[in-house]
Structure formats: structure tokens, C-alpha cells
Amino acid sequence: MNPWYGKSAVIVSLVVYIIIRAPHGRRSMKVPIAEDRKGGLEIGLLIGAWLGTTIVPVVWITTSLFAVAEYTLHPVPYGVGLGMMVLGLWLFYCSHTDLGTNWSVTLQTREEHSLVTTGIYSRIRHPMYSSMFALGVAQALFLPNWIVGPAYLVSFGLLYVFRVRIEERMMLDRFGTEYEDYVQRTGRLIPRLG
Ligand code: SAH
């Protein structure tokens, strides 16, 4: 298959992602912050994730910088990748809608923060991170390049591993037993069975 099938899918994914996030990004700037737990490493990993998920694919689409690692795109991984992209964008939309003004790019809580346990959050504690893993798998499948393809998963995976425990600690400190109970009935990235 022509690599432009992969390139077009990346462009569509990025544009839809930006459209979903934009209103939340603007609104979140106006919501007062109560606590901020981001440190230097978190900022470094966030920049790394931004490079891996957005800048590297855009450079791949617009230049021949990564041409050495190109391979041929096949219909089956491409189709599975498109499915993962739709799943990822849907999860991303649902989690932003459910989280509302409680959302933040870094590790923060708001002055009027409420613990969201409804909608997609009734089964999964980190659906926004699940959505990003789904988008990362999608990118690895429909982006026919051995360097650029895995860049999303690797860069976001590093941020996730570093961040998830600190985020849960922060939520536990703020919401106490309400969060403990919530942890018992939910899964981190996929719904808890039974
Ligand atoms: N980890 C979540 C949210 C990502 S946004 C997800 O993947 O869906 C990060 C911010 O969301 C954190 O700084 C925290 O303040 C907030 N947050 C995380 N889980 C929350 C919940 N269940 N209810 C309210 N706010 C939450």
C-alpha cells in the first residue's frame, strides 16, 4: 500500500485529537489550581511524549528524515490500526467529556475538584491514558516506519509508567477512602473483570 494511506490516517488522528482537546485546554486555564505535583522529570517526559506522539510523525510526513527506516504498509495491520484509532479517539472524547474541568495536562488538582466515578470512569480509572495507548498501537500499525511507528507508544509509555502512581497518590491524598473504594471497583486501563 502507498505510505500516504498511513500518513493520511496520522493526519486525521492528530486533527480530531486537537479538535476534541481544544475547548478543554482553553477552559482549563481559567480553573483555579489547588495543588501541583509536577516535577522536572514529569515536564521532561511530557516534552518527550509530545515529540514522540506529534512532532516525530509530522517530521516523517513532511520530510525524508526517517526514510531509512521505511517498510511496506499492508492492508491487515492498516485496517486494525484504523480500528484502534477510532477506539482511541472515542475513549479520548468520552474521558474529556466525563472529566470536565477536573482535567489537567500535568499532575494538578483544582480548588473545586470532584472525583469523577461516572461514565467511562465508572469502569476504568485512566481511560484517557487507555485512549493514548490505543492511539499509540494504531500509529505503530498504520505508520510504516520502524522508528516513527513505535515512537508514540515508547514516549507515552515512559510518561505513563512514571506518572500513574504519583497521580493515584495525589488522588488518594485528596479524596481518601472515597478514592480507595473507587480503586477497588475499577481497573487502571481496562475494566476490572468480576
Ligand atoms: N488519569 C486520568 C486523567 C488524566 S488528566 C485518565 O487517564 O483518564 C490528569 C488529571 O486528572 C490529574 O492531574 C487528576 O487531577 C485528574 N483526575 C484523574 N482521575 C480523576 C478522577 N477520577 N476524577 C477527577 N479527576 C481525576
Cβ(22)–Cβ(95) under 8 Å?
Answer: no
Question: Domains in the chain, please, with CATH?
Answer: 4-185 (1.20.120.1630)
Ligand 1 centroid to residue 48 C-alpha, Å? 20
Find the helix or strand (DSSP H, E) in which 149 lies: helix 148-175
Q: Which atom of ligand 1 is nearest to the CA of 102?
A: 25
CA–centroid distance for 172 within its chain = 22
Q: Quick check: helix, strand or coil at residue 188?
A: coil
Q: Which of 157, 101, 89, 166 is nearest to 127 (CA)?
A: 89
Cβ(95)–Cβ(102) under 8 Å?
Answer: no
**Res 128: pLDDT:** 98
Q: Which of 158, 171, 174 is nearest to 183 (CA)?
A: 171
Ligand 1 centroid to residue 102 C-alpha, Å? 7
Cβ(164)–Cβ(129) under 8 Å?
Answer: yes
Residue with CA nearest ligand 1 atom 24: 115
DSSP annotation of 54: I
pLDDT in tens, the chain (194 residues): 988 999 999 999 999 999 999 999 899 889 999 999 888 999 999 999 999 999 999 999 999 999 999 999 999 999 999 999 999 999 999 999 999 999 999 999 999 999 999 999 999 999 999 999 999 999 999 999 999 999 999 999 999 999 999 999 999 999 999 999 999 999 999 999 86
